[in-house]
Structure 1
Amino acid sequence: MAKIKLRFTLALVALLSVVMCASLIIKNLSIQEVYEDLTFMRISLEARQYISQVEYDIKYGRQLDNFYDMQTTLKNVQTCSSYMEGAYIVATDAKLFYQSGLNPQQLNLSIPREAEYSAGKLYTMTEDAGHYYLTELINNGGGIVVGYLIMCIDKNAVNNTLASYDKQNMVQTLMIALELLGIALFIIRRIRPDTQKPIALKLLLVLFITVTLAAALDSGLVLTSFYSVVNDAAHQAADKMAQSLQSQVDTIIAKGVSADRIYDLNGWLARNISELKIVTSLTLDRNNKITAAVSQGYINSFFNRFLWRISMLLSACVCSGSAAYWLTAVYYRRKDAGKILKLEKENSIDA
């Protein structure tokens, strides 16, 4: 009996480690997705104000491949985020026109396919081992793409910002795993064999209840906090995006143009709404202040994705535990039936 308990204890530790690691990965991945999406959207929108000025100059005759003081523009783009290590202007044939920051020979400055912008995206994102690359279009004013702005984001800097969330999640997961492991070991120690149910079935039941309960507790405790984190981050990002758009309007007004005379201001705000998944509306009040309404659907999309991943993990625990318990029960029933048959044969021979 001691031997079988030891085996189940080792199996419990192994399975609990696997399931809790999976739960931790789900939590960290979900937080990372939210943070990266909001961060990249904000950076791209802030960079757009500088690219809009470039597009305005191109519309009125300047050439992208011979653009005066582009280095200043790129350095302004770099101030949009402390994570940014470089900003680059490339032509539609991927020829590098201007650069600021890291040596482009060390980077993968690939241009996106035209289809990637078909949905009116503000930016596209690619990545390699060390960097994220955010790419924005540069138009000539007539809807024709003449080049791209590529922003190089340090992946380690983004991950370091998320380190506090990861540490908090890891501590919570570890505490739950250790507490339930202690309870399970106490129960296993007190299990005694009887004639009604094999000890292996009892141990198996304890094992899978412990593993499933640990995953459920770990996930359940983070559900409310996850929604709160996403909601707060979304509202903060929307406010920053509204401020970025506000600065563009203020720049025009500062030149002596009143807001009611800015051509197609509402159309400009509408185009920004189509590119920003996070907002449902952008409005300009009487004081020429832009306010953004956060999309509840955007918040729910991350929360529902997180919930779906948790559900899949718990379903896997329940299904595998049920299957293992059923197979083990079938094995012992057949084993008992074999013993009975053997005894009947022995009795018939004796008779």
Structure 2
Amino acid sequence: MTFARIAGTGSYLPDNIVTNKDLEKTVDTTDAWIRERTGIEQRHIAVDGQTTVDLAEPAARKAIAAAGIDTSEIDLIIFATSTPDKIFPSSACILQARLGIQGCPAFDIQAVCSGFVYALSVADKFIKTGSSKKALVIGAEVFSRIIDWSDRGTCVLFGDGAGAVVLEASEETGILSTHIHADGQYEELLHVPCGIADGFDRVKAGEAFVEMKGNEVFKVAVNTLGKIVDETLSANQMEKSDIDWLVPHQANLRIISATARKLNMAMDQVVVTVNKHGNTSAASIPLALDVAVRDERIQRNDVVLLEAFGGGFTWGSALLRY
């Protein structure tokens, strides 16, 4: 049996750091209020002119180097983002050109905060069916560009960044299962209320920003993530105690803690980066995974659960043996 196994990870964060204290100067909030409700202390924000692909490229190169392969060996690129550089071509194609890769399929996936898990699920199927041998999967965002920095309910939450993994076909156990879902009836609880169909008038009027009903999103997220934990364990005939590490989407420390309780996991088995990164949407899971791999918390053969919830609503999980 062929598995899709993570061969290398990489990440990149913009140098520009915005702390809660910085936000106190521009919006009616406090460091204590933000920490108590979200667990966030700071976030990295792209500078003017710095694009999603600008962040993705160094993350991708680090993942390729960690995998010990040549860039020319990549035969599939899947790029998860909600903030692409252009309407078209895809960010995947722009990144492909920068990496000097030609000919392989390259495309974007948009599932907001669940985007990386969606992309990982698709890449897993490409590899298991023999259509790919070495896939580059990226999650990257400049979410700060779609944030209203006068809205204290959203501007304190989000940051920019990129994470990447190289998946390779292997006889060794890798991704055990992925599970992805969506329910569009919740669209207006978390969305950007305008887009290309509206032309650019509303964008120019400053309406192309994230709108979120936080309390409602929180309730659905906690309940839904609990269910996908059960679904994932059942599909693999595993017990909660079989999971070594939880690498969740980094949206809110309270949501992360609720998922850990569902798994009966101590927080020292949970990779938490939300305090330093904020919510980086599709980038958050590969960023957190790379941090834990590089500081050697996550070791080869550890069983790792990735899970995410995002606008759409979308949600998903991936269970893997690292």
TM-score by length of 2: 0.32
| Structure with more of its chain in helix, by fraction | 1
With CA pairs under 8 Å and 6+ residues apart, which has the higher RCO, 1 or 2? 2
TM-score by length of 1: 0.30
